[in-house]
Amino acid sequence: MPTTRRCALGALLLAPFSHASAQTPPYPSKPIRLVVPFPPGGGGDTMARLVTTSIGRELGEPFVVDNIAGAGGNIGAANAARATPDGYTLLYGTNGTHGINQTLYRKIGFDPRKDFEPIGRLTRIAAILVVRPGLEVSNVQDLLRLARAHPGKLSFGSAGNGTTSHLAGEMLKAQANIDVLHVPYRGGALAMTDLLGGRIDFMIDVAPNVAPQLSGGRVRALAVSTAQRSAAFPDLPTMAQSGVAGFEISAWDALFVPAGTPRPIVETLNAALRRALAHPELRKALLDRAAEPWDSSAEELGQFVASELVRWGDAVKRSGAVIEGGL
């Protein structure tokens, strides 16, 4: 076959593939679905919408929030894990979905590490140790001395068995070697009401729930739960600075995509997230909600999730909390 005919034939064979490649739209080229595994209007939903609105501006395509609540976030997370891994479905994950639930629930319907690719963290949210009005303690060591002097007499409240506030209290019991009574409630608001009323002695709850009571002087804060002082509460010492060595917990949130999502898409999303978190307006909006912006690479988030599964898993086991229901 003459050379010119072979070249012409080759060009004809390659033409469809070249045309298809040329027609592949850049990512993203349509709105992105964000699964928020919590009800509309709650703290997680508000945070997710706030951050992804800014990310959408960076990407040139909006995020469309799909609230799929239930089972502590497990139902929505399982739904996102089964989505097509094309970058058009993301999950808003937390220390619940990717830290606590794997041990707390008998069956959660997904594997936090195997079923997801990490994108990046959004925020770190400190918890704050607060005590009821009239409790005669001025710092953490005072509280611990009081607890040791009266074993089993002091009580701490939580938003319910297996919640961040419950497990934080269990960690304090274990690390400070104190005997205090856990009183679970149906939500943090009810626990705070009883703390204000003097029916429980203390609680360790996330800063957005505690901050309104602090600003009004209705409860007293003794320490924050994070390894470093919180930018939102710089005057409060950490638990470690207060003499409870090694005590470190925080609530957190992050973005994930289904496993198998192409690496270039992961990198595009991570870059847009990090640019969004650098915006002064977004940073201020987060800090106003007692949430610290937390820049990370996808790899750093993956390593962090691995450590959180161990940290929270150990706390759940110590607490004895188990939820039998599963997906």
Q: Please provide the DSSP assignment of 132-150 as one string.
A: -TT---SSHHHHHHHHHHS
Q: Is 285 helix (H, G, I), strand (E, B) or coil?
A: helix
Task: For residues 64 and 149, give the distance between their C-alpha atoms in angstroms, rounded to a whole number.
Answer: 54
Which pLDDT score, from 0 to 100, does residue 5 have? 47
What is the architecture, at CATH level 2, of domain 32-125+251-326?
A: 3-Layer(aba) Sandwich (3.40)
Which pLDDT score, from 0 to 100, does residue 178 have? 97
Task: For residues 241 and 309, give the distance between their C-alpha atoms in angstroms, rounded to a whole number.
Answer: 25
For 202, list phi and psi in degrees, rounded to 5. -160, 170
For 87, left (φ over 0), alpha (ψ -120 to 50), or beta? left
Which pLDDT score, from 0 to 100, does residue 252 have? 96
Closest Cα to residue 158, out of 149, 167, 150? Answer: 167
Task: For residues 290 and 298, give the distance between their C-alpha atoms in angstroms, rounded to a whole number.
Answer: 24
Which residues, other chains included, contact 9 with Cβ-Cβ below 8 Å and sequence gap of 6+? 1
Structure tokens at 217: 């002087």
pLDDT along the chain (327 residues), means of 10: 48 46 81 96 92 98 97 96 98 97 95 98 96 96 98 96 92 95 92 96 93 85 94 92 93 97 98 98 93 96 97 91 76
Task: For residues 177 and 218, give the distance between their C-alpha atoms in angstroms, rounded to a whole number.
Answer: 28
**Residue at token pair 């209007």:** 41
Which pLDDT score, from 0 to 100, does residue 211 have? 87
Structure tokens at 19: 């045309």
- 44 to 54, 92, 142: CA distances (angstroms): 16, 8, 34
Which pLDDT score, from 0 to 100, does residue 23 have? 64
Structure tokens at 110: 């997904």
Question: Which sign, positive or negative, has the C-alpha torsion 177, 178, 179, 185?
Answer: negative
Common-topology check for domains 32-125+251-326 and 126-224: yes
In the chain, % helix, strand, coil (3-state, to 5) comes to: 45, 20, 35
Cα Rg, the chain, nearest whole Å: 24
Tell me the fold of 126-224: D-Maltodextrin-Binding Protein; domain 2 (3.40.190)
Task: For residues 74 and 110, give the distance between their C-alpha atoms in angstroms, rounded to a whole number.
Answer: 8
- The amino acid present at 206, given as its one-letter code, is V
Query: Residue ranges of the domains in the chain?
Result: 32-125+251-326, 126-224
